[in-house]
Amino acid sequence: MVRRRELLKIVAGLPLTSALTLRIDAAPAQGAWPSRTITIVVPFPPGGTADMAARPLAAHLAEKLGRNVVVENKGGAGGGIGHASVAKAEPDGYTIMTALPSLAVIPEANRLQGKPPTYEIDQFVPLARMFADPPLLTVKKSSPWKTIDDFIAAVRSKPGQIPYGTSGYLGTVHLAMEMFLTAAGLKMVHVPSQGGGPAFAAFLADQIPVIPTLESIGKGQFDAGNLRVLAQWGTERLPAFADAPTFQQAGYPDVVYILWAGVFAPKRTPENATRILRDTIRPFMQDPVVVDRFLKAGSQVSYMDGPDFERFLEGDTDRLVKIVRKIGLS
């Protein structure tokens, strides 16, 4: 990924590896939680939103809790493999996860396909929401499509022929793109990858001409002026892309999608562990310096503590499930 290492350094000064271990020698009192290594599972490869949320969080937890913190990438099935592994993990507080809206989508999509879900969303305890970012419909600066109208006209002239890339089937931005295509009555070819980072790399390599992505994933290329945003899935234009309309402004009032990133633990994790984790995450996400660093890396901090995040998820999950059923991703 172009400039991904630099972005991670901006956020936390961390090296990039597929499994990151941070060690702090100062330990809590004997017998207290935590007493050993904590693992943060990322259900995607390095380079995507969940990964970029996990790494600085790992550094903070290691510093404040005095224990090793390991970031483990478990990509595949649009996040489903990593989600299922955490759902089945021992609920002792030593395995947590950074996840995206696909956490709520995949079980329902499995049912629509006649497959037994490998997990359910109620197998997790929300600890905190970290980000809430609108995806951006993005092309290269050299693309012949200058506006969203240009893009729509091109797709309409070649139904089912123009490809677009995403982080994976039923992944973080696949649903957003299908929401728009359904509203506009368009057909394209979906090219899934194994995460936001690999999808963006395929886009840069000209394997796909257009991609729904996030500012944080393409930050370096956006800053260099190499990309053009045709439209945004948020309810308001991001300041960095003030020339690009929201889909609502482009005439599609129901096309709104915000990609949140949150922290979860397995259900039945002891209350003392979830309380300590929440109490440790809260000041990190509310620190103005941290918020500014994430903003510079292209992520919109939108912190919610566990109980508030759980209430948000009830409504958001219901909305996403209805969208999956309406679009018919089965």
- The per-residue pLDDT for range 301-320, each reduced to its tens digit, is 999 999 999 999 999 999 88
Question: pLDDT by residue (tens digit) across 146-177?
Answer: 999 999 999 999 999 999 999 888 777 888 99
Measured distance CA(265)–CA(284) in Å, rounded:
18
Edge-to-edge strand ranges of the sheet holding 19-22: 19-22, 69-73, 38-42, 95-99, 259-266, 124-133, 301-305
Residue 23 has pLDDT above 90, yes or no: no
Q: Any residues with CB less than 8 A from the CB of 279 and at least 6 apart, and which?
A: none
Q: What local confidence, expressed as pLDDT, does residue 324 receive?
A: 85
Q: How confident is the model at residue 31 (pLDDT cuts 50, 70, 90)?
A: low
Q: Give the predicted TM-score (pTM) of the model.
A: 0.82
Q: State how beta strands 124-133 and 227-232 pair.
A: unpaired
Higher-pLDDT residue of 6, 280: 280
Higher-pLDDT residue of 46, 62: 62
Q: What is the mean pLDDT of the chain?
A: 90
Residue 4 has pLDDT above 60, yes or no: no
Residue 100 has pLDDT above 50, yes or no: yes
